[in-house]
Chain A
Amino acid sequence: MHVQWTRRSLLERCAAFGALTLAIPTTLSKVAEAWDSSEAKKMSPTPPCELGPFYKRLAPASAQLRTAKDVGMPLVLSGIVYSESGEILPGAKVEIWQTDHFGHYDNSGYRFRTTLQADQKAGYSIDSVIPGHYPQRVCQHVHYLVTALGHKPLATQMYFGTDPVFEGDPAKNFSRDPLITTIELVRPVMIKGDPKQMIAAVSFDIVLERLS
């Protein structure tokens, strides 16, 4: 017979058999609530995507990648770094690189490349431009390499839902870029600001898988 234990009944049985030792004074119901809460927060790791050929180490820690002279749609790209258990990961290292508006990577210098440390709330943000297209790649994209203690390094890429390649339907057309294996990596783009100074805003949270 299959017994479907509730969390509370399981905890009660553990307590009754002495298998449950609580480090701090609390009630079983609170422990059950905490358990439920942590279970509910479990997150799926961000899908990986190819590192790409133009990763460069030791990019400076600058959130301001765009200068006044840069051509292209201004972009604010931000997010929070989580562990798959739902905990935030302050101090996670977030390396970001992309092309400029014309689809060119700066390999001799560090334009549009940065190494950030997630803040106390595990947040990161950059001020950049929407990258351009270039011949070898179908879609506009931003590269990420995210590392945090106790977690697997994640190399991935973020794509823009507004990319003309998707023809307004990224859910249907995301696979036009063979490197995009999941719609999860295609993010909506919010247009902010006034008509004279529009800014594209994209949120891209990162979820890291724990080292086993």
Chain B
Amino acid sequence: MKTTLLTVLLLTSTAFGQSPIKISLPCESTAQEISHSGKYIAVRCKDHSSHVLEVSTGKTLRSFGADDDFGAFAYSLGDKLLAAANSNGGAAVIEINGSAAPKKWSVGKSGVDVLKFAAPDLLIVAPTKGTAAVWDVSATPAVKAKLETDFAGLTAADVSPDGKLLVTAGADTVVRFYDMASWKQLHEYRELLLEPFAAAFSADGKSVVVGGADGQLTILDAATGKKMKALPANAYAIFDIQTLASNKMCALYSDPDGKKPSYLLIWDLGSAKSTPGPSVDKVTGGGVVDGKIWLATTEAKELEIRVGQ
């Protein structure tokens, strides 16, 4: 699932200076998602249950049962809410520090390719089969806007740092820009030949970087949707892009044939040069916290988080 790839997140530095954080898990975990603040970690268990833990104490705050079978997670801005989705179209939103029952609803009949909060109460859900939508989850979840494509669904989405623009990447190879006040499409970029799998705004919000099966980062002007430049192509496909400080982006490259290990490259958008990122070998989850990458690995019920400098 794509969201699993999204959990392999990136860093502003390739070094890991602090002592690792160690947590005892309530289960053997296959994937994890660290919250924006680094206070929480959602873990998916081998028994198909999932839990939200407090990183500093290892305390389990909320849990979903194996019946829910949630495998994709996303935190709201400010880490108030956790959204979760499963492979049968089931979705849920839960207050991480509350006691209220989770809001559960159906977003389709399939898994999701994109699960991401666009605003504190607005959740983007792109089912593998069906039309992506922006859900208002402030009360009973309701569709606020639909994010149409020519065919197939969305593969990625990101919100500008000022919260005004949404960019989506579609399996139809189209990159679309939306005004988040009106949800009207402002621009689109139709020159990609292969599917984009990832899209991210630069730290200053002025550009959007997309990448995918073409193994190339294409930089678009956020104000016009037009291409500014493309960085050198790679034989591997790009499955994730994360925004770093100092005009840098980090991209996760994976072998299209699935035969060789994945790796990270950190790109300087100005110089169009890249440096190797940290190894993602055996990494099962992570997150970007205050511009630093947190990478998680597990062994049995023990989880270790390495914190970047």
A57 CA / B151 CA spacing, docked (Å): 13
Size bracket, chain A contacts: 20 to 34
**Chain A residues within an 8 Å CB radius of B150:** 153
Interface segment among A9-17, A62-70, A103-111: the answer is A103-111
Flag if A58 contacts B213 (CB, 8 Å).
Answer: no
Contact (A103, B195) CB under 8 Å given A50-B128, A53-B213, A54-B213: no
**Chain A residues within an 8 Å CB radius of B194:** 54-57, 107
Is B282 part of the binding interface, using a Cβ–Cβ cutoff of 8 Å?
no
Within 8 A of B (CB), among A21-76: 48, 50-51, 53-58
Flag if B256 contacts A107 (CB, 8 Å).
Answer: yes
A108 CA / B256 CA spacing, docked (Å): 12
Is A18 part of the binding interface, using a Cβ–Cβ cutoff of 8 Å?
no
| Interface of B: prevailing SS | loop
Flag if A103 contacts B129 (CB, 8 Å).
Answer: no
Is A145 part of the binding interface, using a Cβ–Cβ cutoff of 8 Å?
yes
**Chain A residues within an 8 Å CB radius of B214:** 107
Is B197 part of the binding interface, using a Cβ–Cβ cutoff of 8 Å?
yes
**Chain A residues within an 8 Å CB radius of B213:** 53-54, 56, 107
A153 CA / B256 CA spacing, docked (Å): 26
**Chain A residues within an 8 Å CB radius of B212:** 53
Partner of A153, one of B151, B192, B235, B237: B151
Flag if A53 contacts B257 (CB, 8 Å).
Answer: no
Flag if B195 contacts A54 (CB, 8 Å).
Answer: yes
Is B29 part of the binding interface, using a Cβ–Cβ cutoff of 8 Å?
no
Flag if B171 contacts A135 (CB, 8 Å).
Answer: no
Contact (A134, B173) CB under 8 Å given A53-B195, A54-B195, A107-B213: no
Partner of A55, one of B195, B235, B256, B258: B195
Is A128 part of the binding interface, using a Cβ–Cβ cutoff of 8 Å?
no
Is B181 part of the binding interface, using a Cβ–Cβ cutoff of 8 Å?
no
Closest 5 CB pairs of A and B: A153-B151, A135-B258, A51-B152, A136-B258, A51-B171
* Chain A interface residues toward B at CB < 8 A: 48, 50-51, 53-58, 103-105, 107-108, 134-136, 145, 147, 153, 155
A-B contact pairs, 17 of them (CB 8 A): A48-B129, A51-B152, A53-B212, A53-B256, A54-B195, A55-B171, A55-B173, A57-B173, A57-B194, A58-B193, A103-B257, A107-B213, A107-B215, A107-B237, A107-B256, A134-B258, A155-B151
